[in-house]
A = this chain, B = another copy of it.
């Protein structure tokens, strides 16, 4: 199937935002057997949008639009599709009910201009959007399809995944099944090297993506039924797991923090953190995960050096080894266990920059995890700016915590 992607919004033409939606959709199309021949960004202008959409529909079987489904006068995707198909929009009573319920649920009256989000035309099947107010449009006529989705990436990706991709897959006469394996502690090129020839198999396909908190290995299989596709994915998953071992920390929507917290909760252990260079980022990541309060008791951000001693880090350790040392990281982890009465403590010390400290270069980070007599630690040198170093240190600490808890399990087994 020959396809074309249209991203709508004047903010794209002003460069205020980068069109990440188009890249996401382009990536998604290939495994569905959909060939993308053009991508365009058009502003919030009805003439130019209609002209571009008409040409796209003339030369492609499928046009995938994002943006322009909001409630304002500048949101013109519905108007352009109606113009191209020569159909007149009308309010759909079922959509109107849903829309008013959405606002009522938030305790606010629906602004009347929002009513256009309940429009349909005869060729349109609306696509549900449980995370926003704008339903999508699946407009099909004369063997050609126009799909319009919201521009907000979280709404768009959800609609793609649950509504659009399955419909397209069913036309392709095949089903796709995808699983993402999330990898910690290895760079993308090392992951590819370890995967070797698996990367080049035609079905399932394997692709790696460097994400901020992990390297993702995405396995996608195509088969006549979902069951068959899933079997293909699982056979490949076993091979990937044997290549990457415990570097794989989770699947799909798992995060380094959700996996570490799950291990703590399963083992009935409590956690505390004591951070210097990461300045509270580790605590904040852990508390991003709901349900963490069962395990995570709290943390100390000992930013100034004398605060470390005042909070219980032995002055002797600081004097003998320096603040930037693995010994201090261990002492921080031990101190927080004592101070907050936790089973497990994580300590982080290092140089986030921009200036070196104690003669240690920017990016030097020491991390320790302590539980009872057991200690795990790591010393690293991260590159990048201040926020990047904080981020990498916090993610590395979460991975060290996970491995520490896994090893504890092995020792107990």
**Smallest beta-carbon distance A105→chain B, Å:** 11
The interface stretch among A22-30, A113-121, A230-238 is: A22-30
C-alpha spacing A178/B210, complex, angstroms:
35
> When A290-B353, A297-B307 are in contact, do A27 and B40 touch as well, CB less than 8 Å?
no
> What string of 1s and 0s marks CB contacts (under 8 Å) between A183-205 and chain B?
00000000000000000000000
**Smallest beta-carbon distance A9→chain B, Å:** 11
Judge whether A310 is part of the interface by a CB distance below 8 angstroms.
yes
Contact B24 A15 (CB under 8 A): yes
Contact B303 A297 (CB under 8 A): yes
> What string of 1s and 0s marks CB contacts (under 8 Å) between A270-301 and chain B?
00010100111111101110101100111111
Judge whether A94 is part of the interface by a CB distance below 8 angstroms.
no
Within 8 Å by CB of A293, from B19, B292, B303, lies B303
Contact A38 B36 (CB under 8 A): no
Nearest B residue to A293 via CB reads B303
Contact B293 A284 (CB under 8 A): no
Contact B41 A14 (CB under 8 A): no
Chain A at the B interface: SS class: mixed
Judge whether A136 is part of the interface by a CB distance below 8 angstroms.
no
Nearest B residue to A26 via CB reads B15
C-alpha spacing A354/B16, complex, angstroms:
33
Nearest B residue to A307 via CB reads B298
C-alpha spacing A288/B277, complex, angstroms:
10
Contact A279 B290 (CB under 8 A): no
Within 8 Å by CB of A282, from B25, B48, B280, lies B280
* Beyond known contacts A287-B390, A288-B390: 10 more, CB 8 A cutoff: A13-B39, A14-B27, A14-B36, A17-B23, A18-B18, A279-B283, A279-B286, A279-B287, A284-B284, A298-B303
Listed from nearest, the 7 A-B pairs whose CB atoms lie closest are A279-B287, A280-B283, A15-B27, A15-B26, A280-B280, A39-B41, A280-B284
**Can you give 21 A-B contacts (C-beta < 8 A)?**
A12-B23, A12-B26, A13-B26, A13-B37, A13-B39, A14-B26, A37-B48, A39-B40, A106-B383, A273-B301, A279-B286, A279-B287, A280-B283, A280-B284, A280-B299, A284-B390, A287-B301, A293-B304, A298-B304, A299-B301, A307-B340
